[in-house]
Amino acid sequence: MRRAAIIAAAVIALGASGVGAYQLAPEPAATSAHWRELAWPFPRDGWPAGRAFRCEGGACDGAELYVRAKRGFCNCDSGVADDDEVDRVADVDLITPRFTPVAPGEVVHVGEMRGRVRRYDLAIHDGASHAAVGVALSRRCDLFVAAAQGRGDASAMQHAALAFLETQEMTAWVVAALDGK
Amino acid sequence: MFRCVLTAAALVLFAGSTSVHAQKQQTIGAPPEASNMKLVGTNDLQARSAYQPTIHHQGDRWIAYIGHHGGTDDVPMPVNPLTGKAEPNGTSIVDVTDPAHPKYLRHLPGQEGKYESGGAQMVRVCDGKTLPKGDPNAVYMLRTFGSEAHEIWNVADPANPALITRIGGLKDTHKSWWECDTGIAYLVSGAPDWRTRRMTQIYDLSDPAHPQKIRDFGLPGQEPGSTGAVPTELHGPISTGPNGNRVYFGYGTNKGGILQIVDREKLLTGPKEPTPDNLRFPEIARLPMSAFNGAHTTFPMLDMPVAEFGEDKDGKTRDIVMIVDEAILNECGEARQMVWFADVTTETRPMMISSYTVPEASGQFCQRGGRFGSHSSNESMAPVYYKKMAFIAFFNAGVRALDIRDPYHPKEVGYFIPAITNATDKRCIPVEGGERCKVAIQTNNVETDERGYIYIVDRANTGLHILELTGPARAVAGLPKN
């Protein structure tokens, strides 16, 4: 029995020190009915990769949504101050560096986070019009951003994207991502 | 017996965690950690979070002007013992003529607000007799007023500053540069109609009472009316004046850094309307950095002789720019922010040649609390250290003294990490269901004076420490033994 105690202690100590530690593989993401998870489609940049989804069915059919946490943001008190801030941080530039806002943005709340959402036209020369939506939300000194793009109605895409971000599974993930998990 | 197993396991875990913990965290009362640097004097700066120090030789006195961030959640407006009043953080003015006994002269309040949203972070000083149209009896202090304005004060009597002028209406400010011999100032501002928080407003401040705007400047895509991706915001410029005819702009903080080399003459006299073509006109070259790193300070050291190249037929001297990134996140929550050396001798082909970081394992700095990584360097070009030594503020690793005589192989020759005090503020990270906080030194900025003293200030409210080199580090600078 004494040997069992030593083995147990050693196993726990080794685990605590990181020797022999392993990470559980994440379970497949359970997404809501209309958004199917994709691989993150963009090359590495200064921020860690986020998550990507494609809308299947409904008014946002075919739209893609990219979301990620950006930890470390100087405006800890003022948050997302204006539309220029959305232009700068919302990751629309990952889709294309050439985007034009179609109207002033508006204030948006997702969970306990507050920020702004703005719509854009994208300059993608494939003969079709592309719309995008950029979302920037702040939590203390950190940002959560989302960008959606698609060929359908921008208003429907924005509505569907924000509704998806409000789901329990996404709000839980956002909190974890902003906590650096 | 099962209980025994659990107890044994718990003891092993507890013993392991406490011994590691004891090695990592600073404690009040412990001595500073130092190598080839020693403490000469201190001042608590009224326990205000400190940013940029500028040391000015003023008559027969040496005066330190120290900018502050806004207050903290716990103490938004610390009490000034000289007035007995709670005052928003602004500028500390300290007589450091006797560096062993610094004398706090005046606190000049700044903008109300906490952390980056208040205070008066930046400060530069020029003598009136040096400025082309200044009052020869005046000494002018240029400072930011929070995010909303730049101010110029006459600090000829440093205990009784007088406001001269104010340039306001801004959405942000940051680390400006002022040429004392010409009066040209590169003010890091947030012009309301620009798409970035920080760009450059260039002013002629040769007569500080009557500022003359020259132009706005930034990267194409930041200007009013542009669309699409917005380039990285400015952190600060450093000019070599009319003789060097270059301005080195550093963009970015901890990501997407850019060193931009600009022809000063073209910048000042070229077409001023902020169109993409006009913004590109004075640019000589850009050095884009990794997306992992920003450019807080871009410190030029031109025409440096490099001993290793002494026998070469060409390239014996090199033009070097030292680029310092800024760490932002506590407890290593980001890619390492450090120091880079760029050879810009062939200006249109700048190239990174070397780098420096504090070895994390040398102090288990990722576990100590607060930020670990570089923030800024000294910016004095006084001969005592220029092109020989550089001093880097490295947050919880204190200040690091580098031998840069061979910029291809920079070497650390000294360091000083102050002891924490009761005033040192905590730094927190999010954990499950709340926060976990630690207390650690956060050396934010460093400056030197012509006498060779080194001034470091703390972001976590620990105040000012005045240092000098000891031992072999003095020989690097050619200082006599002490």
Residues 6+ apart with CB under 8 A from B433: none
Whether residue A92 is predicted with pLDDT greater than 80 in this model: the reply is yes
> Do residues B131 and B208 make contact, with C-beta atoms less than 8 angstroms apart?
yes
The mean pLDDT value for A99-119 works out to 96
The Cα B385–Cα B391 span in angstroms is 9
| Segment B450-472, tens digit of pLDDT | 999 999 999 999 999 999 999 99
pLDDT of residue A127: 67
Q: Residue A4's pLDDT is what?
A: 46
Residue A164 neighbours by CB under 8 Å, 6+ apart: A32, A34, A35, A53, A65, A170
pLDDT at B23: 53
Report if residue A51 sits inside a domain.
yes
% of chain B with per-residue pLDDT over 70: 95
* pLDDT of B275 higher than 70: yes
Q: Which of A76, A81, A96 is opposite residue B115, by nearest beta carbon?
A: A76
Number of H helices, E strands in chain B: 6, 34
Tens-digit pLDDT profile for residues A163-178? 999 999 999 999 999 9
User: Under an 8 A CB cutoff, do A9 and B9 touch?
Assistant: yes
The C-alpha of B334 sits at a distance from chain A's nearest C-alpha, in angstroms, of 8
String of DSSP letters for chain A: -HHHHHHHHHHHHHHHHTTT---PPPPPP---TTEEEE---S---SS---EEEEE-SSTTTT-EEEEEEE---S-TTT-S-SHHHHHHHSSHHHH-S-EEE-S--EEEEETTEEEEEEEEEE---SSS-EEEEEEEEEETTEEEEEEEEESS-HHHHHHHHHHHHTSHHHHHHHHHHHTT-
Residue A12 located in a structural domain: no
Find chain B residues with C-beta within 8 A of A1's C-beta: 1, 4
The Cα–Cα gap between B296 and B97 comes to: 30
Contact B8 A5 (CB under 8 A): yes
Taking all residues of chain B, what is their mean pLDDT, rounded to a whole number? 95
What is the reported pLDDT for B207?
A: 98
Question: Are B334 and A71 inside 8 Å of each other by CB?
Answer: yes
Q: Which residue out of A77, A118, A124 would a mutagenesis test of the B interface target, given it has the greatest number of B Cβ atoms within 10 Å?
A: A77
Residue type, B15: A
Q: Is the pLDDT of residue A34 over 70?
A: yes
CATH number at residue A156: 3.40.1000
CB contact under 8 A, A71 and B333: yes
pLDDT at A30 over 90: no
Nearest residue of B to residue A10, measured between CA atoms: B9
pLDDT average, residue stretch B102-113: 97
pLDDT the model gives residue B117: 87
Q: Distance (Å) from the C-alpha of residue A38 to the closest C-alpha of chain B?
A: 24
Least confident piece of the model among B157-161, B291-295, B408-412, B433-437:
B433-437
**Does any domain span residue A2?**
no
Q: What domain range includes position A123?
A: 29-178
**Burial of B298 per CB tally in 10 Å (0-12, 13-18, 19+):** buried
B1 in contact with A, Cβ within 8 Å: yes
Alpha carbon of A84: minimum distance to chain B alpha carbons (Å): 5
Candidates A165, A168, A152, A163; CA nearest to A50 is A165
Q: Is B204 on the interface with A (CB under 8 A)?
A: no
pLDDT of B82 over the 70 cut: yes
Q: Residue B1: CB partners within 8 Å, gap ≥ 6?
A: A1, A4, A5
- A13·B16 Cβ contact <8 A: yes
The answer to whether residue A6 scores a pLDDT higher than 90 is no
Interface membership of A169 toward B (CB under 8 Å): no
Q: Is it the case that residue B58 has pLDDT exceeding 70?
A: yes
Predicted-complex ipTM score? 0.87
Number of residues that make up chain B: 482
Q: What confidence tier does A26 reach under pLDDT thresholds 50, 70, 90?
A: very low
Categorize the per-residue pLDDT at B252 as very low, low, confident or very high, splitting at 50, 70 and 90: very high
Chain A segment 107-166 residues within 8 A of B by beta carbon are: none
Q: Which comes out higher in pLDDT, residue A59 or A66?
A: A66
Closest CA to B194 of A85, A52, A26, A146: A85
The closest CB to that of A77, out of B6, B8, B114, belongs to B114
In this complex, do A76 and B117 lie within 8 Å of one another by their Cβ atoms?
yes
Q: Which helix (H) or strand (E) holds B264?
A: helix B264-269
Mean pLDDT for B473-480 is 96
Contact A132, A92 (CB under 8 A): yes
Say whether pLDDT at A133 is over 50. yes
Q: Which of B20, B111, B116, B198 to mutate to test the interface with A (most CBs of A within 10 A)?
A: B116
User: Which chain B residue shows the shortest CA-CA distance from A97?
Assistant: B229
For chains A and B, CB pairs below 8 A equal: 98
Do B466 and B66 meet the contact criterion of CB atoms below 8 Å apart?
A: no
Q: Is residue A23 part of a domain?
A: no
**Scanning every residue of chain B, which has its alpha carbon at the shortest distance from the alpha carbon of A12?**
B9
Asked if residue A140 is part of any domain, the answer here is: yes
**Mean of pLDDT values over A54-66:** 94
Q: Does the pLDDT at position A29 exceed 60?
A: no
Closest Cβ–Cβ partner in A6, A76, A99 for B228: A99
The yes-or-no verdict on residue B9 having pLDDT over 80 is no
pLDDT band at B169 (very low <50, low <70, confident <90, very high): very high
CA distance A139 to A176: 12
**Token digits of residue B259:** 């060193």
Residue with tokens 């698609």: A150
CB contact under 8 A, A75 and B117: yes
Q: Considering only A92-101, A124-133, B135-144, B359-368, which range has the smallest mean pLDDT?
A: A124-133
> Given a cut of 60, is residue B63 above it in pLDDT?
yes
| pLDDT band per the 50, 70, 90 thresholds, residue B474 | very high
Of A13, A16, A77, the CB nearest to B113: A77
B311-349 pLDDT per residue, tens: 999 999 999 999 999 999 999 999 999 999 999 999 999
Compute the radius of gyration of chain B from its Cα atoms. Answer: 23
Going by C-alpha positions, the residue among B331, B328, B284, B359 that lies closest to residue B439 is B331
**Going from the N-terminus, what domains does chain B have, and what CATH number goes with each?**
39-477 (2.130.10.10)
B117 with A78: Cβ contact below 8 A? yes
For residue A181, what pLDDT is reported? 81
Give residues 172 to 201 of B whose Cβ lies within 8 Å of A: 194-196
Q: Nearest residue of A to residue B9 by CA position?
A: A9
Q: What is the mean pLDDT of chain A?
A: 84
Testing the interface with A: which of B227, B235, B289, B332 to mutate, by most A Cβ within 10 A?
Answer: B227
Res A140 pLDDT > 90? no
Question: CA of A121: which chain B residue's CA is closest?
Answer: B228
Q: Which residues contact A176 (CB under 8 A, 6 or more apart)?
A: none
Q: How many domains does chain A have?
A: 1
Residue A79 distance to chain B (closest CA, Å): 11
Q: Flag whether A101 is in a domain.
A: yes
Any B CB within 8 A of A102 CB: no
Q: What is the mean pLDDT of residues A115-132?
A: 88
**Is A16 inside any structural domain?**
no
Look at residue A159 and tell me if it is in a domain. Answer: yes
Question: What is the DSSP secondary-structure string of B265-285?
Answer: HHHHHS--S--HHHHHTTEEE
Q: B17 falls in which pLDDT band (50, 70, 90)?
A: very low
Is B379 within 8 Å of B299 (Cβ atoms)? yes
Percent of chain A with pLDDT over 90: 66
Report in angstroms the alpha-carbon separations of B202 from A56, B183, B186, B263, B346: 52, 11, 5, 14, 27
Collapsed DSSP state (helix, strand, coil) of residue B237? strand
Indicate if the pLDDT at residue B14 is higher than 70: no
Token pair for B123: 């400060």
Q: How far apart are CA B119 and CA B151, in angstroms?
A: 13
pLDDT given at position A125: 74
Question: Which amino acid does the sequence have at B156?
Answer: A
